[in-house]
Amino acid sequence: MLLSALSAVLSLAGSAAAALTYKGVDWSSVPVEEKAGISYKNVNGAAQSIEHIFRDSGVNTVRQRVWVNPSGGTYNLAYNINLAKRAKNAGLGVYIDFHFSDTWADPAHQAIPSGWPTAIDDLAWKLYNYTFDASNQFHDNGVQPTIISIGNEITDGLLWPTGGTSSWYNIARLLHSASAGIRDSRLNPKPKIMIHLDNGWNWDTQNWWYTNVLKQGPLVSSDFDMMGVSFYPFYTPSATLSSLKSSLTNMANRWGKELVVAETDWPSSCPNPAYAFPSDAKNIPFNAAGQSQWIKAVANVVASVPKGKGLFYWEPAWIHNANLGSSCASNSMFSNSGQALSSLSVFHNI
């Protein structure tokens, strides 16, 4: 089965996707799984450190979420510095995803960290100092991230309520401060700074958001280098590959920023999906071969767009949370025993 799926992956290889600069995965929860007793294995069943499994499978960059002061310390700065050192030692680039919260930040959750001020002047200054200090800590520990995202899926703003969409000025002010802290840090070379929204297939959402925030004044085009989007197929049939291509093309033509699909997944098992899947993905199976087809298809979309630079698969190794927030049984690229599925090898070909 592994060999036949791998053959299917190789047959999908095309010239367009070979242009991608960033071929990545989010591995934020790997230490959590290792602490729970998971030992990872490559596609041949041999035990191997997961960073080397990723590298040998064609991954060149890993994504890590950073929480400010989480309970128990998981995903905090120290946790991420240690994880980033592992990536660096394996020859992988590091993409840091600041959530600017003590817990999950996404379109439904953007809580100000405990102890942080709420007045806009004080909060903007706190955010500058936070990104400045965190960036310096990465530098001082020998890690130079290649990408830093200033917020995670901030379609409805960040650091609520101060940075909600009831005040686009506040959003712009906060993002400018976050960017300035990174730019002023000792990191050298400077990382690419990303703004990340969800629903990358929806041009109306992307256009509404960037038009509103960029006309405020504090956030200027030079404050960021990349636009990241989330693109998931299992929440709405509207998330077609063709709509993603249209949206990213419009974004490239309007703003000229580098573009990355910062999060995507495909099920290795989905017996009871809650929503219909997109029409142009209905023939992709819910298995390892289907994961390969989906990743290849998304990679081809990104590579076909001006300044399309990369793709990141969200948390493929989080075995104990294998549904990854979807109604599908599993979106993991590892079996329950920790062995890599054949789909992981698709990164060689994108």
Q: What are the residue numbers of the active site?
A: 153, 263
Q: Nearest-CA neighbor of 86 among 37, 59, 51? A: 51
Q: Is the peptide bond before 145 cis (omega within 30 degrees of 0)?
A: no
Report yes or no: 213 and 219 within 8 Å, Cβ to Cβ: yes
Pairing state between β 226-230 and 93-98:
unpaired
Sign of CA dihedral 89, 90, 95, 101: negative
Nearest-angstrom CA–CA distance, 133 and 137: 6
Cα 149 from chain centroid?
Answer: 9
Contacts of 282 (CB under 8 A, 6+ apart): none
- Comparing CA positions, the residue from 34, 31, 93 lying closest to residue 62 is 93
Q: Please report where in the chains the tokens 């693109």 appear, as a residue.
A: 231
Residue 281 carries which side chain, given as an amino acid letter?
A
Rounded to whole angstroms, the Cα distance separating 311 from 309 reads 7
Q: Which residue(s) pair with 160 in the sheet?
A: 111
DSSP string, 74-107: TTSHHHHHHHHHHHHHTT-EEEEEE--SSS--BT
For 30, the enclosing helix (H) or strand (E) is: helix 30-35
Strand runs labelled E in 257-307: 258-264
